[in-house]
Structure 1
Amino acid sequence: MRTIAEINDKIRRQAAVAWTVEELKARVQDIGIAQAFKEVDVICTGTFEPMESSGALINLGHTDPPIKIRRCWLDGVPAYAGFGAVDLYIGATAMADYTGSPEMADGENRQGATLPERGGGHVIEDLIAGKTVQLRAIGQATDCYPRASYETTISAKTINQFYLYNPRNLYQNFIVGVNGGDRLLYTYLGPLQPRLGNAVYSSPGAISPLLNDPDLQLIGIGTRIFLGGGIGYVAWEGTQHFPLQKRLPNRTPIGPAATLALIGDARQMNLRWVRGCYFKNYGPSLMLGVGIPLPVLNEEVVRHCAVRDKEIVAPVVDFSIPRRVRPTFGLVSYAQLKSGQITIEGKTVRTAPLASIFLSRQVAQELKQWIEAGEFMLAEPVASIPMDRSFLPQDRWGSKITLD
């Protein structure tokens, strides 16, 4: 048995042994779990993938005369202003303001219309890059905040707080998207070709952080992580956190399960690991690099991290059915997905990852280098992530709202 305090002491002395999770899996095949436990102190996991439930909190500082912002746009992208007077939140998927554009009718996207390709993820990227962005704000005039409007340019250097707070990151497993219909579909997994023309999977599989700590015994609230090239923390359970998902005997879930809410100082981050992106006819998002160090406290940690792609499965889901619960074509392993093709009802279907496997490995490698150099200390969680959360859908049909 080891403790995090003991491992941190070795990190300070630059005597800790850190392996990427891929190195651990290979070493276990050669020397076994017991010997690997003796040799390694920290296992570094990583992923680089779209994480659309992300965003940045910004405090502008007060103007003179002061303004109580109620509506705001950053480079034409709406930011939420329902906090204090000059606190803003810009979501990664917020789209550039298209009010009155021909692409929209009655607030709904016309079939096949081209949506604006710039969104909140791109604004966040620009601010991290040190660029200036245009601010336009409308205020609620009050006795203490008399100003009615304000326009200026801002950068990361001219605002107070600028940090990412991401309500849902790091899905513990996800789905494989296919399209059994007759027309091309544009989805959050990218384009899905008709008649099972392709299959897209999101998770990087056995190197993904939460699949290597399946019951979240090591990761908790307060865990220090690699976030966007800087240091971040696990803030809470993520939205849509569903740890009660069905699991294999190795404890890995067979579909979307646990999630985490993450927080980190955006000024520490760099563009290699934070990038705005756009999915055609779906909208903008944010590509984000996240790495989690797993302290090797006992042999069970090594056993969980030794899980391989052939031992983890994901459901193949047909997006041509426009319902919350879509039909599936069964489960496939990540080894099959990473081979480049799977078989669905006798048909060979080519596969592609949404996550960058190469950059996911690089996240784990960079985190390993930080630990070996004594630049990254592990943090004891202050509380566990709940593992008994149910998933509550909205099954009742709502009424269509019409605007006069």
Structure 2
Amino acid sequence: MRTIAEINAKIQAGRATVWTVDQVKAQAKELGIPEIANRVDVVTTGTFEAMEASGGMINLGPTDPPIKLRQCWLDGVPAYTGFGAVDLYIGAAKAVESPLETDMEERGGGQVIANLIAGKPVQLRATGQVTDCYPRASFETTITKDTINQFYLYNPRNLYQNFIVGVNGGERLLHTYLGPLQPQLGNAVYAHPGASAPLLNDPHLRLIGIGTRIFLGGGIGYVAWEGTQHFPLQKRLENQTPIGPAATLALIGDAKTMTPEWVRGCYFKHYGSSLMLGVGIPLPVLDERVIYHCAVQDEEVVAPVVDFSIPRRVRPTFGLVSYAQLKSGKIKIEGKTVRTAPLSSIYLGRQVAKELQAWIQTGKFLLTEPVAPLAMDRAFLPQNLWES
């Protein structure tokens, strides 16, 4: 048994042993769980994937004369202004505004956030509500991350514990949040990195809670709360991994310390903008159970294959497939061989885990005790039309 305080003391003394989760999985059979638990103090996990339920909170600072923001656009992308006078929030999935729908450009909030993090200038245009204390009616300027006060990411839903595989059994090409799905089961796209994903290696969120310090976009962030659509009651296999979308996290971190290597705007054709984000979570090895869960392999984790050609909330599925099958490049659906492709970057996810490993080994990053656990009893409530 170890405590986080004991692990932090070893980190500060330069004596902590830190492995990536891939190292644990590779050595689990040869060394065994007890031996790895005895050797290793921290396991690092990482992912790099599209996380459209993200956004940036910005405080501009007061203007002269002062303005009370009521409408605001950053490089043509609307930002929400229903806060204090010069506070605004821009969502990663918000689209650029254009007078004509056909003029919509392939960019949105994700690109604005990534540009600010990269130090690029962003054009701001705003209108205000004129009052006695805020007499200014409009404002235009150019901002960078160095000319604004606070700029932090607050992401309501990141890091699905597991997700789905998208296919298209229909007759026409579909443009989805997974990218293009070819007709007649022409391809299958999976958004999740599989067994290496941070939350799959702590299936009951025993180690991760409110206040957990993490790697977020190349800077330091924290778990702020459970994420939206958090559904820990999802059905699970015997190894306790969920068979579909389950737990999620809300994350927060100082965007001024983040880097363009780990925060990138992206756009899905005929769907919209998003944000590719690198997130890494350290798992303290408090006991052997930590390594037992970290040793889970792609062959032991499954996801449902969902048919997007049916435009309903509950779509038909073609059963469950393992991530080992998905990563082989092809799966079988009703006797047909279907090509597979990941939406997340498996390679860059591993690089996030290695970067976090280096931070801990050099004493740059210490672990935190959660201040409260995340709820594990949340039901998932859909919306239904009710007749009065």
TM-score of the aligned structures, taking structure 2 as reference length: 0.99
Which residue does 2:286 correspond to in 1? Answer: 297
TM-score of the aligned structures, taking structure 1 as reference length: 0.95
* Cα distance in 1 for residues equivalent to 2:379 and 2:70: 35
1:4-403 aligned within 5 A: 4-98=4-98, 100-103=99-102, 115-396=104-385
* Distance change in 2, residues 1:347/1:237 (3 Å): same
**Aligned-partner SS, 1:38:** helix
* Cα distance in 2 for residues equivalent to 1:320 and 1:11: 51
2:94 maps to amino acid: A
- 1:233 CA drift (Å): 0.2
**Aligned-partner SS, 2:32:** helix
* Cα distance in 1 for residues equivalent to 2:339 and 2:56: 36
- 1:115 CA drift (Å): 4.3
**Aligned-partner SS, 2:380:** coil
1:119 maps to amino acid: G
State the Cα deviation string for residues 4-31 of structure 1 (Å, max 9, x = none): 0000000001110000000011111111
Aligned residues: 388
Maintained 8 Å contact 2:96/2:104: no
* Distance change in 2, residues 1:101/1:398 (3 Å): farther
Percentage identity across aligned positions? Answer: 74
Q: Which runs of 5+ in 2 are unaligned?
A: none
Q: Which runs of 5+ in 1 are unaligned?
A: 104-113, 400-404
Between 218-227 and 26-35, the greater mean CA deviation after superposition: 26-35
* Cα distance in 1 for residues equivalent to 2:106 and 2:178: 16
- 1:116 CA drift (Å): 2.3
1:304 maps to amino acid: H
State the Cα deviation string for residues 349-388 of structure 1 (Å, max 9, x = none): 0000000000000000000000111110000000000000
* Cα distance in 2 for residues equivalent to 1:352 and 1:50: 14
State the Cα deviation string for residues 53-89 of structure 1 (Å, max 9, x = none): 0000000000011000000000000000000000000
**Aligned-partner SS, 1:325:** coil
* Cα distance in 2 for residues equivalent to 1:302 and 1:325: 35
**Aligned-partner SS, 1:384:** coil
2:310 maps to amino acid: I
2:34 maps to amino acid: A
Maintained 8 Å contact 1:115/1:282: no
Maintained 8 Å contact 1:243/1:258: yes
Maintained 8 Å contact 2:7/2:16: yes
* Cα distance in 1 for residues equivalent to 2:386 and 2:303: 29
* Cα distance in 1 for residues equivalent to 2:39 and 2:377: 34
State the Cα deviation string for residues 203-254 of structure 1 (Å, max 9, x = none): 1001100000000000000000000000000000000000000000111000
The alignment's C-alpha RMSD in Å is 1.1
Which 4+ residue blocks in structure 1 deviate beyond 3 angstroms? none
- 1:180 CA drift (Å): 0.1
* Cα distance in 1 for residues equivalent to 2:125 and 2:166: 39
* Cα distance in 2 for residues equivalent to 1:186 and 1:85: 38
